[in-house]
Structures are given as C-alpha cells and as structure tokens.
C-alpha cells in the first residue's frame, strides 16, 4: 500500500528520515569519497572505514565494548540468535518476540522454547524444567525492550537477574533506540557493557536510516565476525548508512527537544483517548495497539480511517495472535498535535459499537 495521508504508520519516530541534517551528512559523505555501495562482504573488500568508525562511535554511545553492523534489524537478530547460542544451550524467548528472533533461533544449534509474555516467573519455571530434564548449557533469554505490536516494556532488570544466574540476555532495542533512555540510548542502557548482555539497535526507525547494530562484549562480537553466516556471506551495508548513523547519534545528543516533543505527543494521544474512547487504553509508549478483534472488521476500519486522510494500518494474524487484530498507532514527529486530536476524533466517530 503506498504512502498516503498523515503518518501514523511509520517507525520514523523522531522525524529524522527526511531531516536536513541527515541529508547533509549523506551529501558530505559522498563529497569526501564515501561510496554508495560496499560492493563486497566485510571480510573481502567491503570493509569501508566509514563503517568501522560508525561501529566504534556507536559502541561508545550505547556503552558496549564493541558493535557490528548489519543490513537490517531482521538479519541482525537472525545472525545473533543463529550464531551465538551453541549446541546444548537453550534459547528462551518471549512469546511475542519478533519473527526474526523465531527464525534465527530455529536456524541455530540450541534448543528453543518460549515463555509467556513478560512473565519472568514462567521463564524461571521453564528453565528449571529444562535443567531437570538434563539441560546443562547456557540459557539465552531473548526479548524486546519495547514490543513492536503492543508497545509495552519488558521487565529487563528481573530478566537480567535471571540471566546472571543462567547465561545471557539478548535485548532487541529496535523500537526503544533513540526514544527512551539517556540521550536515546535505549531502555537497556544501564545493562550495556555486561559480559552476558547483547543488544540490537536498528538504524531504520528512530535513527532515520537503514541497517542495524549488534552490541556486546568484544569476544561475542568477534565470534559473530568469524561465525555469523549472514555477516560473512552478505555484501556489507551501504557505507552511506554508516555516515547517516553517525549523524543520527550526534542529533540525539544535540536535539533532546525531539524526544521531548515525542513524549508530549504520547501523553496527548493518551489523554485524548481517555476522553473520547475510554474503553481503549494507551500503552505509555509511541506504539499504541487499538484492539478490534476480527480481521475483516479491523481492515474495514483501517480503510475508513485512511479515507479520512490518516495513514493508519490494520494488523492481523499471523503478525499478531488470533482474535487480536488491531489498528497499530505509531506516534511520530511527522504528525502534529492537531493531527493527533483529529485522528482521535475520527476514531471516535468510526469505532464499531460494542
């Protein structure tokens, strides 16, 4: 479906994708000789200095020992989950983990299981049962810090405590990077730098570019360099995206007002929703799921909202569980406060009678 209407569908949370500073950074990179394409894998001729500089700056920004760039969040998640856990280990993922997590886990050598969404005790129980059945390896807890379809937050401190006893914690920060934490460092920023914590930060959402980074202990990142097939056998990401990523991190430091403005929009949407559609609950983040239920009803409602000038998409199974089809509201700086008020008025007018 083409772009049309006010943006309530993209992940360009801070409005950086088309910002003058990002455009100027890419132009400046071209002017100083940074190529458009890497033209080879990183282990052959594709290891551009711009990418290495960006990885070093990003690792320092997020607080990790090292960082490794990939072409996108999906492939970065896939690489980490299919490579780092070893035979005899257990990957234990949240039920609502992203598809890339599921695919990466299945492609690896470790056993795979899941636990109920954000239920740490259930995770502990699953680990205990695995140990009782003879499991002796490390446990790799895999979660999102901010869930992409529900907009809620993982209990990271409790999960980190379990990981300290059992193995490792992998945190997908895709939707938190740039939005939450000091200077947009993410919800897991206080865990970065631990030897048993691996994080993923995407460049294609709040940072306005394309690609992703896996951050963690240098030994783990070096292992990915030498063992991760999606890294070894893929053409390296465009060096221009490394230049864009460097500028995005600078903008996060220079322009805190972007995050402040987004938080104001999140609060406004919540208050307008409480006033006009109190049966629907805000998530507290920039991602707000408005559960309709039925697939057909959801898509019909999405079309009606789109006809009023808003780019708001319906989400249905298998992306979300059966019976939870929804409108996924994504709040960004591309929509004004007046746009938010008009959207909630429209939703009040069109929402199906119970």
User: Which of 175, 247, 272, 330 is flagged as catalytic?
Assistant: 175
Q: Identify the three-state secondary structure at position 167.
A: strand
Closest by CA to 61, choosing from 257, 249, 260, 254, is 249
User: Which of 89, 98, 189, 334 is flagged as catalytic?
Assistant: 98
Active site residue 226: no
User: Which of 144, 150, 192, 247 is flagged as catalytic?
Assistant: 144
User: Which of 77, 82, 114, 148 is flagged as catalytic?
Assistant: 148
pLDDT in tens, 16-28: 999 999 999 999 9
Residues 178 and 92 in one domain: yes
pLDDT in tens, 94-104: 999 999 999 99
Residues 168 and 269 in one domain: no
Active site residue 144: yes
> Does 153 map to a domain?
yes
* Burial environment of residue 350 by CB neighbours within 10 A (0 to 12, 13 to 18, 19 or more): middle
Residues 243 and 340 in one domain: no
Which residues fall within 8 angstroms of residue 25, CB to CB, at 6 or more apart? 243, 244, 246, 247
Active site residue 148: yes
> Does 78 map to a domain?
yes
Residues 233 and 96 in one domain: yes
CATH of the domain at 345: 3.90.1150.10
On the question of pLDDT at 333 being above 80, the answer is yes
- Output the pLDDT for position 354: 65
Give the domain range for residue 149: 20-253
In the chain, the number of structural domains is: 2
With vertex at residue 228, the alpha carbon angle to CA 224 and CA 229, rounded to the nearest 5 degrees, is: 160
| Residue ending a domain, choose from 253, 277, 301 | 253
Give residue 1's pLDDT band: very low, low, confident or very high (50, 70, 90): low
Residues 151 and 281 in one domain: no
User: Which of 11, 19, 210, 238 is flagged as catalytic?
Assistant: 11
User: Which of 102, 189, 201, 205 is flagged as catalytic?
Assistant: 205
Give residue 2's pLDDT band: very low, low, confident or very high (50, 70, 90): low
pTM of the model: 0.95
Active site residue 172: yes
Active site residue 132: no
Residues 171 and 287 in one domain: no
> Does 313 map to a domain?
yes
Residues 62 and 105 in one domain: yes
| Residue ending a domain, choose from 253, 272, 289 | 253
Contact 218, 66 (CB under 8 A): yes
Residues 171 and 240 in one domain: yes
Residues 149 and 277 in one domain: no
| Residue ending a domain, choose from 253, 276, 305 | 253
- Output the pLDDT for position 3: 77
User: Which of 7, 89, 94, 172 is flagged as catalytic?
Assistant: 172
């Amino acid at each position: 479906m083409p772009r049309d209407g006010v943006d309530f569908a993209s992940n360009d949370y801070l409005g950086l994708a088309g910002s003058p500073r990002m455009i100027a950074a890419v132009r400046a990179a071209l002017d100083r000789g940074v190529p458009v394409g890497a033209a080879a894998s990183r282990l052959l001729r594709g290891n551009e200095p711009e990418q290495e500089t960006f990885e070093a700056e990003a690792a320092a920004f997020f607080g990790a020992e090292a960082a490794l760039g990939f072409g996108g969040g999906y492939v970065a998640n896939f690489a980490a989950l299919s490579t780092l856990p070893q035979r005899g280990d257990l990957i234990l993922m949240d039920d609502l983990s992203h598809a890339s997590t599921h695919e990466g886990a299945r492609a690896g050598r470790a056993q795979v299981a899941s636990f109920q969404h954000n239920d740490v005790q259930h995770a502990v129980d699953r680990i205990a049962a695995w140990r009782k059945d003879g499991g002796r390896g490390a446990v790799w807890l895999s979660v999102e810090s901010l869930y992409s379809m529900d907009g809620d937050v993982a209990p990271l401190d409790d999960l980190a405590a379990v990981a300290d006893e059992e193995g490792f914690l992998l945190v997908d920060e895709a939707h938190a990077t740039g939005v939450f934490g000091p200077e947009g460092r993410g919800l897991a920023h206080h865990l970065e730098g631990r030897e048993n914590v691996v994080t993923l930060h995407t460049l294609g959402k709040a940072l306005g570019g394309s690609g992703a980074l896996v951050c963690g202990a240098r030994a783990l990142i070096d292992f990915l360099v030498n063992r991760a097939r999606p890294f070894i056998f893929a053409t390296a990401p465009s060096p221009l995206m490394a230049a864009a990523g460097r500028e995005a991190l600078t903008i996060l430091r220079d322009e805190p007002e972007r995050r402040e403005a987004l938080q104001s929009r999140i609060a406004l949407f919540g208050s307008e929703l409480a006033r006009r559609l109190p049966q629907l609950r805000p998530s507290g983040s920039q991602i707000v799921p408005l559960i309709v239920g039925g697939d057909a009803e959801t898509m019909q409602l999405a079309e009606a909202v789109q006809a009023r000038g808003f780019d708001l998409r319906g989400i249905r199974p298998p992306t979300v569980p059966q019976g939870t089809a929804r409108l996924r509201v994504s709040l960004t700086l591309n929509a004004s406060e007046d746009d938010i008020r008009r959207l909630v008025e429209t939703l009040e007018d069109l929402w199906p009678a119970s």
